[in-house]
Amino acid sequence: MKKLLIFGFLLTFLMTAFTVDADAQYSRKRKKKKKKTEKNSEYFDESGAAITDRLWYGADATINFGSVFGQSNFVWGLSPMVGYKFSENFSAGPRLSLLNVISKTSDPLTGADLSANLLDIGGGIWTRHKILQTYFIHAEFELLSEQFVSGLSGNEFIKDREVAPHYYLGGGYGAGNGTLGFSAYILWDFSEDFTAENIPIVTRFGITYLF
């Protein structure tokens, strides 16, 4: 509960501080675009065009690893996302996750190496704010259906699944030419315990379009 309250406070601060971000620059750009598209107004709905103009798209590659109770996990995955620009610098939207977890441990009786291939599927919502057009702060809530090892049967892992919430907060770097770009960011997972064997840091690399 303490971790959730800390995350909630930080997220509330982020939302309050940056949703007030003036939309003047974005409005000026919209006015310029409107002049160019007036001739096509009979073919496009104005409200629909405004929403489309504020959307951007991305896809992340996630890399993470850790070790708990003698069991090491390597996580990698792909995650598409869509963002809506509430202002020039502040955006939010949905994100889907597909993660492959390679879990390894040793048989306590024979010492033989054992491994399992697990699949996590999830989705969530996020907010992001640009700083100096190059750096950004990222906050996210995700529900993840996690497959995990619950025991051993001979030389085979027994697999089970449960849904768990995750709360992320961090920052990163993004660059591009205004159309295509890339991003790299690091998040702290407030739902995970920080121990000597498990550091709850998630590293992501991605590409963006119109961000």
DSSP states of 100-114: EEEEEEE-TTT--EE
Instruction: Kindly state the tokens that stand for 141.
Output: 């809530």
pLDDT of residue 40: 47
- Parallel, antiparallel, or unpaired for β 71-85 and 113-131? unpaired
A 10 A CB-CB count for 89 gives 19
Contact 95, 126 (CB under 8 A): yes
Burial-class residue 57 by CB neighbours within 10 Å (0-12, 13-18, 19+): middle
Q: What is the mean pLDDT of residues 72-99?
A: 94
Q: What is the pLDDT of residues 1-58, one digit of tens each?
A: 555 555 554 555 455 545 555 444 545 555 555 554 444 444 444 445 578 889 999 9
The CATH number that domain 2-39+55-209 falls under is 2.40.160.20
DSSP tally for the chain: helices H, then strands E: 3, 8
Give this prediction's pTM.
Answer: 0.74
Domain range annotation of the chain: 2-39+55-209
